[in-house]
Amino acid sequence: MRNIWTIAKREYDNYFNSPLAYVVALAILLPLGIYFALIMFVSADQAFYGGGAPQTNPITWLFVFLMVFLSPALTMRLLSDEARMGTLELMLTAPVRDFELVAGKWLGAMMFVLSIALVTLVYPIIMNNFVSPGIDWMLVLASYIGLILVCSAMLALGVGISAVFTNQFAAFFTTLGLFFFLWFMIGLPAGYLPTGGEVLNYLSLSNHFSQSMNNGSMTLGGIAYYLSLTALGLFVGTTAIEIRRWR
Amino acid sequence: MIKVSGLTKDYGARRAIHNLSFDAQQGEIVGFLGPNGAGKTTTMRILTGYMPPSDGEAIVAGYDVVEESLEVRKRVGYLPETVPLYQDMVVFDYLKFMGELRHIPNVDGRVNEVLDMVGLLSRADGFIGNLSKGMKQRVGLAQALLHRPEVLILDEPTIGLDPGQVVEVRELIREIGRERTVLLSTHLLHEAQNICDRVLIINKGKIVAEDTTENLQARLIGAERVIVRVRGEADELADTIKAVKGVRKVETLEDGGVEFEFASGKDLRPEVAKQVIKDGYDLLELRPLGMSLEEIFLELTGNEAKKK
């Protein structure tokens, strides 16, 4: 466990050395800021005519939606670059379990995303000051738990795929392709199938978050889905590293 | 401390090492000599727990490299051939990170200690990417020494260092080798001769010779080669040397020097020197030529072929 933390800490610090991480942070925070301003502006306008209070869940939704495209950039080099630079040899001959290495990388990426998410908490806080009698904090909590779960799944899958490749761009596009498929496409046939549509909907990366958690309803199925994907990603990563040893 | 028996490794259809067996005791420095692709790095990678062997067994520091890989890795310090380092990290932070992975108590103090040992204390705050090749090599060495390993495995430890540093690093290795087990690979026979107690010569994945460096040379050569140089024209120098009894294989080199050989045991150098001076030459140089690894190697592999 201590090794996971040591590796995560190094990875987290490393993000701040790389311009890419700043670009990703900007690419999330800038649209979110604009979107927030728009929401506030429109709600203030509508309030005159009896419009309801604004909520923060469109912002958390946008955060997660942007992560579909940006999280592959955060995970692509985590293990592929170690393999390319040869530093994997260093890690694999240190007294660190393969799982600890993969989990450490995932946790490092997770901490970086959580840092960005922490910054976005200013939006509910500001909004709370403008709304009487205040916003629904339980909804905010549910949204953020959902956000953490989705990000956890995406980053774990990204780390897992990064372990398979030696080229970071191969890892990037594979991860992006997978997320695109899981987010947009897997649920599409659900409406046209006589039976079994629920299964496809269940497998969609977006459904549990967009339909339930972000609207305040934590479903056990959703939690299980995202945690399973996280476990799957870490398992794929660990297995890929083990296979590298045998080659 | 290292006990290898029947070690075999296949990369697909290619057999990198074949039925390798050797051991190394505590307080012993063992040299691993061989040309590129002989299987040195593969063997070292197996011993450090980087990859498992296809067959055979290796016990390092009392633990099996496959079954108890983590225990082995805790006790082994390893300097890989390519010296992989995180280029975008500061030297100190990098070593601290590696030290934390090894759960070293008082890691900051130990990092400074090791940096001092390899002479990099002044560059502790610099980025690894900005260091010269020799300095990177020393950072790698520092990393291998960090946790006071029982077994030190060094893949070409002096490559890329300048002569002064080579001497320092060899001195360091010799010092460590007094209490611990050191296995190092090298191309250079004189390096092996210099620091190793014992040498393993490996070719095409097999050990072709195993002995102390002195024995190995004596056994192989059975003769000693010497080069003579004199001032000015020396057309007849070869004839002068040939006149000394016991001298054989006299050859004049392009630059005017003359090489000759005599059976080891009786040193003919004083006789040759006397003869050269007697004939009126100004003797500039009279130097024994060690046998290069390549020569020993050709000799050994040639013998192998003959046996078959």
Q: Is residue B301 part of a domain?
A: no
The CA-to-CA distance between both ends of chain A, in Å, stands at: 27
pLDDT tens track for A48-75: 787 777 888 899 999 999 999 999 999 9
* pLDDT of A22: 93
* pLDDT of B129: 92
Same domain for B195 and B257, yes or no, is no
- Work out whether the CA dihedral A242, A101, B140, A19 comes out positive or negative: positive
In sequence order, which residues have a C-beta less than 8 Å from that of residue A109 and are 6 or more positions away? A11, A15, A71, A74, A75, A78, A155, A158, A159
User: In chain A, what percentage of residues exceed pLDDT 90?
Assistant: 72
How crowded is residue B244: how many other Cβ atoms within 10 Å of its Cβ?
A: 18
Q: Is residue B299 part of a domain?
A: no
Instruction: Provide the residue type at B278 as one letter.
Output: K
Same domain for B242 and B211, yes or no, is no
Same domain for B94 and B176, yes or no, is yes
Instruction: Provide the residue type at B2 as one letter.
Output: I
Residue with tokens 């300048």: B162
Instruction: Provide the residue type at B242 as one letter.
Output: K
Q: How far apart are CA A194 and CA B157, in angstroms?
A: 68
* pLDDT of B290: 63
Q: How far apart are CA A209 and CA A223, in angstroms?
A: 9
* Residues 224 through 263 of chain B touching chain A, CB cutoff 8 Å: none
Q: Is residue B183 part of a domain?
A: yes
pLDDT tens track for A75-93: 999 999 999 999 999 999 9
In sequence order, which residues have a C-beta less than 8 Å from that of residue B212 and are 6 or more positions away? B197, B198, B199
Interface contact A245-B51, CB threshold 8 A: yes
Q: How far apart are CA B152 and CA B148, in angstroms?
A: 9
Range of the domain at B206: 2-218
pLDDT tens track for A118-143: 999 999 999 998 887 888 899 999 99
Same domain for B103 and B44, yes or no, is yes
Interface contact A90-B98, CB threshold 8 A: yes
Last residue of a domain, one of B183, B218, B253: B218
Q: Is residue B28 part of a domain?
A: yes
Same domain for B76 and B193, yes or no, is yes
Which one of A85, A88, A94 has the shortest CB-CB distance to B73?
Answer: A94
Which residue on chain A is closest to B85 by alpha carbon? A87
- Tell me the ipTM for this assembly: 0.90
Q: Is residue B305 part of a domain?
A: no
In sequence order, which residues have a C-beta less than 8 Å from that of residue B303 and are 6 or more positions away? none
B243 CB-side CA count, 13 A: 12
Interface contact B84-A246, CB threshold 8 A: no
A116 or B250, greater pLDDT: A116
Q: Is residue B75 part of a domain?
A: yes
Interface contact A94-B103, CB threshold 8 A: no
Q: What is the mean pLDDT of residues A32-49?
A: 89
Instruction: Provide the residue type at A67 as one letter.
Output: M
Considering only CA atoms, give the Rg of chain B: 23
Q: How far apart are CA B129 and CA B127, in angstroms?
A: 5
Secondary structure class of B283 (helix, strand, coil): strand
Same domain for B192 and B233, yes or no, is no
* pLDDT of A27: 96
Closest-CA residue to B123 (of B109, B138, B144, B106) = B138
* Residues 152 through 181 of chain B touching chain A, CB cutoff 8 Å: none
CA distance A55 to chain B (A): 42
Report yes or no: B192 at the A interface, CB cutoff 8 Å.
no
Same domain for B27 and B157, yes or no, is yes
Q: What is the mean pLDDT of chain A?
A: 92
Q: Are B138 and B118 in contact (CB under 8 A)?
A: yes
Q: How far apart are CA A164 and CA A241, in angstroms?
A: 8
Interface contact B101-A246, CB threshold 8 A: no
Regions of chain B where pLDDT drops below 50:
305-308
* pLDDT of A109: 97
Q: Are B8 and B55 in contact (CB under 8 A)?
A: yes
* pLDDT of B221: 59
Q: How far apart are CA A198 and CA A215, in angstroms?
A: 19
Instruction: Provide the residue type at A244 as one letter.
Output: R
* pLDDT of B4: 92
| Helices A220-246 & A57-85 angle (0-180, nearest 10) | 10
Same domain for B227 and B166, yes or no, is no
Q: Is residue B308 part of a domain?
A: no
Q: What is the mean pLDDT of residues A14-18?
A: 90
Query: Which class for B175: exposed (0-12), middle (13-18), buried (19 or more C-beta within 10 A)?
Result: exposed
Q: What is the mean pLDDT of residues A102-131?
A: 94
Report yes or no: B149 at the A interface, CB cutoff 8 Å.
no
pLDDT tens track for B7-51: 999 888 888 898 999 989 888 999 988 877 788 899 999 999 999
Interface contact A94-B80, CB threshold 8 A: no
Same domain for B190 and B239, yes or no, is no
B239 CB-side CA count, 13 A: 4
Interface mutation vs chain A, best among B41, B43, B101, most A CBs within 10 Å = B101
> How many domains does one find in chain B?
2
A108 or B228, greater pLDDT: A108
Same domain for B187 and B206, yes or no, is yes
A4 or B186, greater pLDDT: A4
Q: Is residue B201 part of a domain?
A: yes
Q: What is the CATH number of the domain that holds B265?
A: 3.30.70.100
Same domain for B111 and B240, yes or no, is no
Q: Are B252 and B237 in contact (CB under 8 A)?
A: yes
Q: How far apart are CA B304 and CA A9, in angstroms?
A: 54
Q: How far apart are CA A70 and CA B279, in angstroms?
A: 85
Same domain for B250 and B150, yes or no, is no
Whether residue A54 is preceded by a cis peptide bond, meaning omega within 30 degrees of 0, is no
Which one of B51, B84, B98 has the shortest CB-CB distance to A85?
Answer: B84
Contacts of B102 in chain A (CB under 8 A): 94-95
Q: What share of chain B is helix, strand, coil (3-state, %, to 5)?
A: 40, 30, 35
Residue with tokens 């050994």: B300
CA distance A209 to chain B (A): 37
pLDDT tens track for A146-158: 999 999 999 999 9
